[in-house]
Amino acid sequence: MTTLDFLDIKRNKIAGSIPDSFQKLTKLNFLDLRFNSLIGKLPDWFGSALSKLTVCALTGNELTGEIPISLGQATLLKTLALEGNRFDGEMQMINALSNLEYLYLDDNMLSGRMNDTFLANLGALVHLDISGNLLTGNLPAHLFQRKSLTILDVHNNKIGGSIPEFVAENTALSFLSLYHNSLTGSVPASIENLKSLAHLDLTSNKLNGTITQAIGSLQNLTYLFLSSNNFEPAAIPSYDFFSGLTKLRELSLGQARRDGEIPNWLGNLSSLILLDLSSNHLSGTIPETLWELTNLRYLLLNRNRFNGTISPKVSQLTDLTMFLLDKNKFIGDLTDFCSKSRSINFLSADCVPGSVEITCPCCKLCCQDRNKTCNDDILFANFDPSWEHNYTRISYSFSPNILYETNAGN
């Protein structure tokens, strides 16, 4: 079948390695072998023999070894999807693929150092996902200067240094995920130049300084995750900070060294489906306006220094899926909430039988003040930009056995 130009046999149970006979398919333009059980290495001839490929998708197999140097000869490639395999080694050959628009290399074991030449020749990129690898070095400034790049996902690597101090005006980038790296320094004020940014995730780095007011000017933000950093201790940013973020659906400030009380105006963020204030030094009572956020699905208030009585208005949040109250000094009765809840899957509180704290017949976990390690899991968002489905937030999960470094609320 040497004239074949389109081959799609994804989502089967095909095992074994890619056969050498495939090098005869020199006219192949589209190759989709995703989600099979392929093993072994990509053959050395892969890029040179299949040099007319524009789409190559090998996602979700068990391919191993280094990406062959010959792949750099497939210069017509526009989509390259190798995510979810076990590729290792470096990826310099990718720099030769100057026509690439969609590059997915996430969830492998690729290494190498990011610098000013890293993927610098790929000026046509629209999606770049290299998350879940072993990359080191610093974030190149040129990745923030692309006119067509809409998704930049480098989370879960070993990238250090700081976010580039000067971010040029950019109306393309809408998805930026840097979480779970080793970034230091402060968030630059020039981040406000990312005018179209809808998704900003800086979770689990070593960022310090203040939370810059410039983030508040990103009026298209729907997801803002700043958790698990070393910001200067301060209160939750003021109303002026959030007043322009009317599209915000998810806000995570967990373990971000916040203190003081929850401000009343937080109830103005009526589109919120997730609010994470966990593991801070927040105190006082919960403002009544918080119980007006009836779109909430995830509310994390645990591991703080809150006190007072839980208002009966909590029963208005009938669609909560996850509700964490533990390791505080609340009192109250959640019996009515339990009876009205439509979808609660995980509810935790200080509700040990016989205590004077919270009555909670539907709690999945009851903590005691002296148990400092109760409910030490941290909530992270799962997001996977995929070439079939564009990008979307699909679910949330706990990352187990990660101990908080704070004793807030104990």
Number of domains in the chain: 2
In a domain, 262, yes or no: yes
In a domain, 345, yes or no: yes
In a domain, 359, yes or no: yes
Domain with 107 in it: 1-111
Q: Do 273 and 410 fall within a single domain?
A: yes
- Continuous segment of H or E residues that includes residue 340: helix 335-340
CA–CA separation, 377 and 401 (whole Å): 6
pLDDT of residue 172: 96
- Tell me the C-alpha to C-alpha distance, in Å, between residue 208 and each of 215, 224, 408: 15, 17, 19
Of the candidates 186, 92, 73, the one whose C-alpha atom is nearest the C-alpha of residue 135 is 92
Is residue 356 a contact partner of residue 380, using CB atoms and an 8 Å limit?
A: no
pLDDT of residue 393: 37
Q: Do 99 and 237 fall within a single domain?
A: no
Q: Do 94 and 237 fall within a single domain?
A: no
In a domain, 175, yes or no: no
Helix, strand, coil % over all residues of the chain, rounded to 5: 15, 25, 60
311-344 CB burial, b ≥16 within 10 A, e <16 = eeebbbbeebbbbbbbbbebebebeebbeebeeb
Is residue 238 a contact partner of residue 262, using CB atoms and an 8 Å limit?
A: no
In a domain, 386, yes or no: yes
- Give the end of a domain, one of 52, 77, 111: 111
Q: Say which DSSP state 31 is in.
A: E
CA–CA separation, 226 and 204 (whole Å): 8
Of the candidates 295, 293, 292, 261, the one whose C-alpha atom is nearest the C-alpha of residue 277 is 261
In a domain, 12, yes or no: yes
CA–CA separation, 210 and 191 (whole Å): 14
pLDDT of residue 375: 80
Residue with structure tokens 């590059």? 103
- Give the end of a domain, one of 70, 94, 111: 111
Q: Do 263 and 405 fall within a single domain?
A: yes
Give strand ranges (E) for 258-372: 258-260, 274-276, 281-284, 298-300, 305-309, 322-324, 329-333, 346-349, 358-359, 365-366
User: How crowded is residue 182: how many other Cβ atoms within 10 Å of its Cβ?
Assistant: 13
For 337, phi and psi rounded to 5 degrees? -60, -45
User: How crowded is residue 31: how many other Cβ atoms within 10 Å of its Cβ?
Assistant: 24
State whether residue 123 is helix, strand or coil: coil
**For residue 193, how far is the Cα from the chain centroid?**
21
Of the candidates 360, 304, 303, the one whose C-alpha atom is nearest the C-alpha of residue 331 is 360
User: How crowded is residue 169: how many other Cβ atoms within 10 Å of its Cβ?
Assistant: 10
- Give the end of a domain, one of 86, 111, 136: 111
CA–CA separation, 156 and 177 (whole Å): 9
Low-confidence spans in the chain with pLDDT less than 70? 353-356, 369-370, 379-410
CA–CA separation, 301 and 132 (whole Å): 29
Q: Say which DSSP state 46 is in.
A: H
State the CATH number of the domain containing residue 395.
3.80.10
User: How crowded is residue 400: how many other Cβ atoms within 10 Å of its Cβ?
Assistant: 8
Amino acid residing at 403 = L
CA–CA separation, 367 and 278 (whole Å): 15
State the CATH number of the domain containing residue 24.
3.80.10.10
Amino acid residing at 320 = L
pTM (2 decimals)? 0.92
In a domain, 99, yes or no: yes
In a domain, 143, yes or no: no
pLDDT digits (tens, 9 = 90+) for 294-312: 999 999 999 999 999 999 9
